[in-house]
A and B are shown apart, each in its own frame.
Chain A
């Protein structure tokens, strides 16, 4: 009996003294202007600034990805048709727009450590490498170098003047040109993606009755594949992951060349397109799965 009363008292005391009384008191004890709180307020500011910048870069990276993808789709419409030159010019205009976005990225990164925000912009840069190298391949039938890409990403003072006039910053404090460098890993991953596009180009060019391009492409892809195998597992993890997909693309192109060689002599030219159009669907399905 007394024990029961005691436990009842217990519970009451817990309720009154602790859950409400003491807790409230302690919360009020926290002095909003203490040294700890002021330093945390400055941490808040610092973290918010950093996260805002990161978000802005992610947005830019998304825009770069989208525009680069559109450029790639545009370039896929390129066949040795009469309007080929037109499409190339149009793609150049699009890429210029992408580069303007990249310029904004470079501006965000002035005075920052690029690797700190690398994860925000890496997908966009890879897609850009893919688009630029695809265009370069169509033009010159060779692989663009990382230096060549970086050369186009140097923004000069006269571009900058308009922006500085707007923000009215001091002119001579910052360097006259500033640039964004595509990291070797971004370049490699972009090139690995390029091979997927080249595989598609190969299949569709057969569809258009172009018989030389597939052989050229299989040569080119084999060279890239050899290059990647030289790196092998000494590269970063993502690169070795792409190597598998690259091998599949190469196999598809090689099979296409094989079919062309064997059946090309038997099937009349106007029917070749039909043979490959079924093949293309097959490959697209496989791609969707992977």
Chain B
């Protein structure tokens, strides 16, 4: 019976994943034209895709008893983490802040805490946020290539705050811990970009607006 239910899930999550795989394309094109004004437009489009995700998650909810979430958790964990990342990425591009757990839950049309049904597990949320960190490290590199010298500085501040946040957590030796161990390389990468910019004086013009004084 477990297998039967599992294969049912796969059918449901497959289209969701399909729309996932189309979405990173539209998002990563944002990176190519970071200075371009089209960022809000792309975010808007991505948010429309989340509508599809919401309906599909809605149908997933009906495929199993509500109180057995963790029995089948493994089947949708990966997809859910990826969705958290995408939602967090959209919110970051729009407002340069970290999306809250409640906000992600709302974007995906699910609950924030366990009591009320299909919810977002805290570890999945944190995993998605860590994926965002490595994506931002990439974005820092690519925005320099595209001539946007101020964005890496803002990303650096953001990542540093995120890093301090994660350092508050006492993680167990599990997959989340492994993902967290990768965060320091993202921090390092971004610091290198900021360093490259500052020794060439390229951040001067940029930091006038961003609040630096060097």
Q: Which residues of A contact B (CB under 8 A)?
A: 10, 13-14, 17-18, 22-23, 26-27, 29-30, 34-37, 39-41, 43-44, 46-48, 50-51, 113-116, 118, 234, 236
Picked from B68, B160, B168, B199, the residue with its CB within 8 Å of the CB of A40 is B168
- B169 CB within 8 Å of chain A: yes
**A116, B70: Cβ atoms closer than 8 Å:** yes
**A39, B101: Cβ atoms closer than 8 Å:** yes
Q: List 5 A-B contacts (CB under 8 A).
A: A22-B214, A40-B165, A44-B168, A44-B169, A46-B122
Q: What residues of A have a CB within 8 angstroms of the CB of B214 in the complex?
A: 17, 22
Complex CA gap A118/B74 in Å reads: 13
**A34, B161: Cβ atoms closer than 8 Å:** yes
Interface of B is mostly: helix
Picked from A23, A41, A114, the residue with its CB within 8 Å of the CB of B168 is A41
Q: A14-B195, A51-B172, A113-B70 are in contact. Are A43 and B160 (CB under 8 A)?
A: no
Q: What residues of B have a CB within 8 angstroms of the CB of A48 in the complex?
A: 170
**A115, B170: Cβ atoms closer than 8 Å:** no
Q: What residues of A have a CB within 8 angstroms of the CB of B97 in the complex?
A: 35-36
Smallest CB-CB separation from A236: which chain B residue?
Answer: B2
Report the minimal beta-carbon distance from A196 to chain B, rounded to whole angstroms.
25
**B161, A30: Cβ atoms closer than 8 Å:** yes
Report the minimal beta-carbon distance from B165 to chain A, rounded to whole angstroms.
4
Complex CA gap A44/B70 in Å reads: 21
Complex CA gap A194/B89 in Å reads: 52
In the complex, besides A51-B170, A113-B114, 16 extra interface pairs with C-beta distance below 8 angstroms are A14-B195, A18-B198, A22-B198, A26-B156, A27-B164, A30-B161, A36-B98, A36-B161, A39-B98, A40-B166, A41-B168, A48-B170, A113-B67, A113-B69, A116-B73, A234-B3
Q: A47-B122, A115-B73, A116-B70 are in contact. Are A30 and B160 (CB under 8 A)?
A: yes
- B162 CB within 8 Å of chain A: yes
**A26, B199: Cβ atoms closer than 8 Å:** no
Report the minimal beta-carbon distance from B9 to chain A, rounded to whole angstroms.
15
**A115, B71: Cβ atoms closer than 8 Å:** yes
**A18, B199: Cβ atoms closer than 8 Å:** yes
Smallest CB-CB separation from B122: which chain A residue?
Answer: A46
